[in-house]
Amino acid sequence: MSKKKIYFHADDFGRSIEVSKNIMKCLIKGNLNSVSIMVNHQNNKYHNKLKKLKKVNKRLHLNLTDFSNKDFKNNSLPNNLNFIKLIFLSDQEKKKIYREIELQIRKYKKIYKPKILKIDGHEHVHMIPWILRYLQKIKNKQNIKEFRNSNESLMVPRFSDLFSFRYYRNIAACILVKFLYYFQGSPKIIAPKFSGIIYSGIQSEETINNTLNFFKKNNYKYCEILIHPGYASLKESSKFHKNYFNFYNSKNRKKEFNLCFSREINNELKSFNLNYD
């Protein structure tokens, strides 16, 4: 069997039972071959199922922002954190984040027992300078061999993108991440070539195919395309803050779930791998 050169990747496994269940379907029967895992939300039922999938690429998905009110009562993190707030935390608050990072690493290792540790961040928080510096500081101690490099290359937009508010929001997020990466002096990060911010929440067969063609054109051989097929059900609304639940329960998430069963995307992924074997 040929070695996978591209990861068709889902974030957020472990965020809730329904999110995990839907991602699991995509891993077992669909096009997904890679997943990032939250460890601070649910019991081990679906973690134990995921552990059995030996050919799936797995990473710890550090979560510092996405909690329900109940979760906040059970940890010492500052309330209502987001990407911007994290950038400007005080030294005392940063210590709480360091402890939370170490706690999530310990939980992940206890559950999955990885030979090496791969890490990324929910909402790309691992790219915040002081957080990335800390992860690099502890990488030898924790045997961290790979971080996601969210410094995504810009592609020529489609005509329809020019009329999409979500696209402009994503471009702004992409530029912010780029700024933080270059602000740090472009630290060396071992990772696949990444794509997923620009079309976050608006992925389609067209955007996936355009990304694959972009990778081929630039001769990128080790790559990752991020999608979000893990959608939550209405009965789980209490497990999320309202704004987060609206995202997890959105129609776009359900569309991206369906992309994991697209025959066209499956053929394109296979074609990409065959071109570089």
Smallest Cα–Cα separation from 55: which of 35, 69, 75?
A: 35
Residue 1 lies in a domain: no
Provide the domain count of the chain: 1
Residue 237 lies in a domain: yes
Query: Residue 196: what residue type?
Result: G
CA 275, 256, 25 angle in degrees (round to 5)?
85
The per-residue pLDDT for 73 is 53
Predicted confidence band at 243 (pLDDT cuts at 50, 70, 90)?
confident
Q: Give yes or no for a contact between 120 and 103, defined as CB atoms under 8 angstroms apart.
A: no
Predicted confidence band at 2 (pLDDT cuts at 50, 70, 90)?
very low
Residue 31 lies in a domain: yes
Distance CA 32, CA 266 (A): 9
Determine the angle formed by the axes of helices 17-29 and 251-259, rounding to 10 degrees. Answer: 20
How does pLDDT run across 161-186, given as a tens digit for each residue? 999 999 999 999 999 999 999 999 99
- pTM score, whole prediction: 0.93
Query: Residue 179: what residue type?
Result: F
Residue 231 lies in a domain: yes
- Within 10 angstroms of residue 51's Cβ, the number of other Cβ atoms is 14
Instruction: Give the domain CATH number at 181.
Output: 3.20.20.370
Predicted confidence band at 130 (pLDDT cuts at 50, 70, 90)?
very high
How does pLDDT run across 20-71, given as a tens digit for each residue? 999 999 999 999 999 999 998 866 789 999 999 999 999 999 999 998 766 6
Predicted confidence band at 277 (pLDDT cuts at 50, 70, 90)?
very low
Domain that holds residue 120: 6-275
The per-residue pLDDT for 21 is 96
